Amino acid sequence: MSEPDFDQLRAAYKKAVDEWVDTIRAEEALATHDHSMIAWEQWDETHFREQDAQAKSTQTREAYKDALRAANIGI
């Protein structure tokens, strides 16, 4: 694997983590004094988006690690 591929994998991981952090902050912002059912549903929906973003972050991290492992130790 060439050096640009590592850079691309690392950039994809960083982007996924940044998106995950953004969804965490969005979820946190919805934990407000508004105790209505609508606010609760919005909060839940944002939590589901946060979970999806975390999964994407984990997938991109594993892809990057796999490439590094293959290049550095051959497995």
Supply angle C-alpha 11, 61, 63, rounded to 5.
Answer: 90
Q: What is the mean pLDDT of residues 54-74?
A: 94
Percentage of the residues of the chain whose pLDDT score is greater than 90:
80
Q: What is the mean pLDDT of residues 62-73?
A: 92
Answer yes or no: pTM beyond 0.85.
no
Q: Which of 29, 24, 30 is closest to 42 using CA atoms?
A: 30
Q: What is the mean pLDDT of residues 22-43?
A: 93
DSSP 30: T
- Report the alpha-carbon distance of residue 42 to residue 50 in Å, rounded: 12
What does each C-alpha distance from 51 to 14, 47, 55 come to in angstroms? Answer: 17, 6, 6
Tell me if 27 sits within 8 A of 47, measured CB to CB.
Answer: yes
> Which of the four pLDDT bands, split at 50, 70 and 90, describes residue 25?
very high
